Amino acid sequence: MADSEAKGAPERTMAEALNLALTQEMEQDDSLVVLGEDVGVDGGVFRVTEGLLDKYGESRVMDTPLAEAAIVGVSVGMAAHGLKPVCEAQFSGFSYLAMHQLEAHAARLRWRSRGRFPVPMVVRMPYGGGVRALEHHSESKEAFFAHTPGLKVVIPSGPRNARALLLSAIRDPDPVIFMEPKRLYRAFREPVPDAPETIPIGESQSRRDGDDLTLVAYGAMLRPTLQAAEQLADADGVEAEVIDLLSISPLDDRRFSASARRTGRVVIVHEAQRSFGPGAEIIARLVEQSFWYLEAPVVRVTGYDVQVPYFAREADYLPDLERIVAGAREVLSHA
Beta carbons of 278 and 127 less than 8 angstroms apart: no
Pairwise CA distance, residues 330 & 333, whole Å: 5
Residue 103 engages another protein in binding (rule: CB under 8 A): no
C-beta closer to another protein: residue 154 or 324: 324
Residue from 24, 309, 321, 329 that binds another protein (CB under 8 A)? 309
What sections of 117-218 are H helices per DSSP? 142-146, 159-171
Site for another protein in 178-237 (CB under 8 A): none
Residue 94 engages another protein in binding (rule: CB under 8 A): yes
Q: Closest by alpha carbon to 42, among 33, 32, 53?
A: 53
Burial of 38 (0-12, 13-18, 19+ CB in 10 A): middle
Q: Which stretch binds another protein (CB under 8 A): 59-67, 142-150, 208-216, 256-264?
A: 59-67
Least distance from another protein to the Cβ atom of residue 11, Å: 24
Pairwise CA distance, residues 141 & 139, whole Å: 6
Q: Closest by alpha carbon to 123, among 81, 69, 192?
A: 69
From 100, 105, 136, 137, the catalytic residue: 137
Q: Is 137 a catalytic residue?
A: yes
Q: Report the 10 Å Cβ neighbour count for 136.
A: 13
Site string for another protein, 19-48 (x = CB under 8 A): ------------------xx-xxxx-x---
Distance, C-alpha 254 to centroid of its chain: 19
C-beta closer to another protein: residue 92 or 168: 92
C-beta closer to another protein: residue 106 or 201: 106
Site for another protein in 60-89 (CB under 8 A): 63-70
Residue 317 engages another protein in binding (rule: CB under 8 A): yes
C-beta closer to another protein: residue 203 or 314: 314
Catalytic residues: 137
